Amino acid sequence: MLPAVVRALRERLPGLELTTRSVPIGELVTGLREGRFHGAFTRPPLVPDLATRTVVTEPVCAVLPEGHRLAGRSSLVLADLAGDDWVLTPRESWPPWHAKYDQEFVAAGYAPRVVQRAGDAASLLGLVAAGVGVTRLARSAISIRRSGVVFVPLAGERAETVLAWHPERPSAALLAVADDLGTSPDLAGGG
């Protein structure tokens, strides 16, 4: 998604100085609150004091190692993976995400057996490819790694990407971007 957004920004606002970087979610929220960042693309839930606009909605997938017993299925539900080892991000990386995940696992009837944690999607995908466990990620993560893993949609599960900003410090460029992105594309079929 980011290349298309950057291209559109450069076309619409050619004088805009745009700096991008990847930061942990806690640092991102702090940066927005303190005014170090004008805007950020991330996934909810965030915190109530930030403004957001949905940019993309896409399927969530179970990410399985090639050869996994369920790799050939066209879709799964979270309960199908109750007996598997899991690799997830560290709980402290963003407690609101993990509180939401905990609720979803409880609704599926189990607590995941987490055997290893990794701080980013690329590392999680590497662990899955190595057969350490399974995970779940938004479908767009397939662009990070296509070998050694299989993405199987989780029925009814969707992930949003939002543009977030501090409502007391919106820049004119950010509001223009938010308006342009207001028609939320749906990545239902795509990778």
Do residue 79 and residue 110 come from a single domain?
A: yes
> Is the pLDDT at 185 greater than 80, yes or no?
no
- Amino acid (one-letter) located at 173: A
State if pTM tops 0.85: no
- Res 173: pLDDT: 75
Buried-state track 44-74, b at ≥16 Cβ within 10 A, e below 16: bebeeebbbbebbbbbbbbbbbeebeeeeee
Task: Name 164's bridge partners.
Answer: 40, 52
Split into its structural domains, the chain has a count of 2
Is the Cβ–Cβ distance between 75 and 153 less than 8 Å? Answer: yes
Whether the pLDDT of residue 1 is over 80: the answer is no
Is the four-CA dihedral 159, 160, 161, 162 of positive or negative sign?
Answer: negative
Task: Give yes or no: residues 38 and 72 share one domain.
Answer: no
Q: Is residue 190 part of a domain?
A: no
Residues 34 and 124 in one domain: no
Same domain as 52, residue 62? no
Same domain, 167 and 131: no
Q: How confident is the model over 55-113, as pLDDT tens digits?
A: 889 999 999 999 999 999 999 999 999 999 999 999 988 888 899 999 999 999 999 99
- Domain of 121, in residue numbers: 57-158
Percent of the chain with pLDDT over 70: 91
| pLDDT tens, position by position, 143-158 | 998 899 999 999 999 9
